Amino acid sequence: MKIVILGAGRVGSAMAIDLSVDKEFEVRVADRDAKQLARLEESHGIRGERVDFSLPSTVNRAIQDADLIISAVPGFLGFQTLQTIIEAGKNVVDIAFFPEDPFKLDELAKSHGVTAVVDCGVAPGMSNLLVGRASAQLDETHSVAIYVGGLPSAREGMFEYRAVFSPIDVIEEYTRPSRIVVNGKVEIREALSEVEILHFAEVGDLEAFNTDGLRTLAHTIDAPDMIEKTLRYPGHAEKMKLLRDMGLFSNELTDLPDGSCVRPLDLTTALLFPLWEMRDGEQDLTVMRIQVSGLKNGKAAQYTYDLLDRFDAGSGTTSMARTTGYTATVVARMLAQGLYDIPGIHPPEHIGVLPECVDFILAGLRERGIVYRESILDG
């Protein structure tokens, strides 16, 4: 089976290496970064192809001989790229996390007989799958709460943060309005708002704030109250809110006194991203807690899933690349084996209602050292 991965960043590279171990897969990676492609070929013998993802025609050429696609392009190109993949008639696992509604492509996918699993990372991704799993076991689902964050293992620097995925997508998290569900209705909250402090064993206190992470869950899960919050070390949200409210995340051109123009975001990213870059020897961790409450057999019940994953020193793979990328590669294996082949757009909560698929995914992640601990309070 020929698999093409669109994107050779930290996550894309981790996915390519993971899949290339299986002899039944022929893996190729597409990216515009020639140096990154060369590193993958030199270190692991994985073929690369230079592609400009902003041009659908070049994307189409890159995938024309593939049996399965994994899309890890930047979020602002994700919807367009997914549409190109579907029109080419290719099954796809997508982790682009684009802002558009993926269900707008549902009829297109069905008409082309394409199975497209979207938002297939850690969160969104495994969070959706496990919410779907818990909700399917409850007679009524009353509330969903998701808390998740990728963090540096050491609290250093003025922001106590390192960008373990695309930094521009991190800023998008901090600016995009957050959708939550309150009393059965979708409400809009400002990103970085409603900060609360939670305690996690082995990590300590973390702050949680609103981000737009519910995504498809707001419409696919019948629960009157649902939230998703991002986790950071305490104090991070206040600093990011200050930068945002000053206009430093703005895309609008601003006139300068010397007559020139600048986009504040360009200047901010030039100054901020070097401060967020992981240095040699630095490690990261991923923390997630999912709580789904409701009724089962007439009694109150709550399903809780906890994840604490750490940097893999042996392979040099970040925890965020592991938890995000390996979710996608295990789901790709699931599609390759024909365990899930329903045409259309499918967020992971659709898969979560099928025990055999959930068991396959959880087992595949356990093999890679990523363990979700389930606890159930019943009655």
Q: Worst-scoring range by mean pLDDT, 160-164, 167-171, 287-291? A: 167-171
| Cα–Cα distance for residue pair 101/11, rounded to 1 Å | 23
Give the contacts of 62 (CB within 8 A, at least 6 positions apart).
Answer: 4, 6, 30, 49, 51
Give the number of other Cβ atoms within 10 Å of residue 15's Cβ: 29
Looking at residue 102, what DSSP letter applies? G
Q: Could you tell me where the beta strands, DSSP code E, fall in 67-162?
A: 68-71, 91-94, 115-117, 140-152
Looking at residue 372, what DSSP letter applies? P
Q: What is the CATH number of domain 2-121+321-370?
A: 3.40.50.720
Q: Look at residue 164 in the predicted model and tell me its pLDDT.
A: 74
| Cα–Cα distance for residue pair 321/72, rounded to 1 Å | 11
Q: Worst-scoring range by mean pLDDT, 232-236, 285-289, 312-316, 375-379? A: 375-379
Task: Provide the whole-model pTM.
Answer: 0.94
Helices and strands (H and E) in the chain: how many: 13, 18
- The structure tokens listed for 5 are 């991965």
| Cα–Cα distance for residue pair 14/72, rounded to 1 Å | 11
CATH homologous superfamily, domain 126-310: Dihydrodipicolinate Reductase; domain 2 (3.30.360.10)
Q: pLDDT of 97-129, one tens digit each?
A: 998 999 999 999 999 999 999 999 999 999 999
Q: Look at residue 172 in the predicted model and tell me its pLDDT.
A: 87
Q: At what angle do helices 355-367 and 319-336 cross, to 10 degrees?
A: 130
Confidence of residue 199 (pLDDT cuts 50, 70, 90): very high
Q: Look at residue 163 in the predicted model and tell me its pLDDT.
A: 86
| Cα–Cα distance for residue pair 128/303, rounded to 1 Å | 13
Q: Look at residue 379 in the predicted model and tell me its pLDDT.
A: 65
pLDDT, mean over the chain: 95
Q: Are 36 and 9 in contact (CB under 8 A)?
A: yes
E strand or H helix at 15, and its extent?
Answer: helix 10-20
- The structure tokens listed for 39 are 């590193």
Which residue has 């969104």 as its token pair?
124
Residues of the chain with CATH 3.40.50.720: 2-121+321-370
Mean predicted confidence (pLDDT) in 46-71: 96
Looking at residue 160, what DSSP letter applies? -
Confidence of residue 370 (pLDDT cuts 50, 70, 90): very high
Residue 83 — left, alpha, or beta (φ > 0 → left; ψ -120 to 50 → alpha)?
alpha
Residues of the chain with CATH 3.30.360.10: 126-310
| Cα–Cα distance for residue pair 164/275, rounded to 1 Å | 12
Q: Is the dihedral angle over the CA atoms 93, 48, 171, 239 positive or is it negative?
A: positive
